[in-house]
Amino acid sequence: MSTEPITLTAALASFDALWSPRIVTRVNDYDVRIAKLRGEFVWHVHEYTDEFFLVLDGHLDIGLREPAGERTVHLPTGAVFTVPRGVEHKPSAPAGASILLFEPTGTSTVGDRHEAVPAYVDVTTGHALDR
């Protein structure tokens, strides 16, 4: 963990990979991750933890499969949303987005129930941020 301030703009400029979170810092047992997104991710669920999203730039849609049915939440720049544990969801950013996430350290980006990790996902628990 860095003992120096981290500028999110500079951190985001340090990588180009999509759907490949970077761990900016840790807070207690949580990773603070940033990621660049474009296109659609996979439907997945986190059985034991909520997932917090903050849109830093662009627009993020999150499809949700809830007991009442499917719906999509639309998050513009500056919006936050928490997907409750146990809710199947699918992030997408057709025009691209940059996001910040809070997740317990070691949380898989593809959730707890998945048959295969998509080829475009190069790591499921985040990369260390190059400084």
Instruction: Give residue 93's domain range.
Output: 16-113
Residue pLDDT, tens place only, 12-37 = 999 999 999 999 999 999 999 999 99
What is the CB-side half-sphere exposure of residue 24 using CA atoms within 13 A?
20
pLDDT digits (tens, 9 = 90+) for 109-118: 877 666 666 6
54 falls within a domain: yes
pLDDT classification of 100: cutoffs 50, 70, 90: very high
Number of structural domains found in the chain? 1
28: its two tokens: 């207690």
Q: What is the CATH number for 107?
A: 2.60.120.10
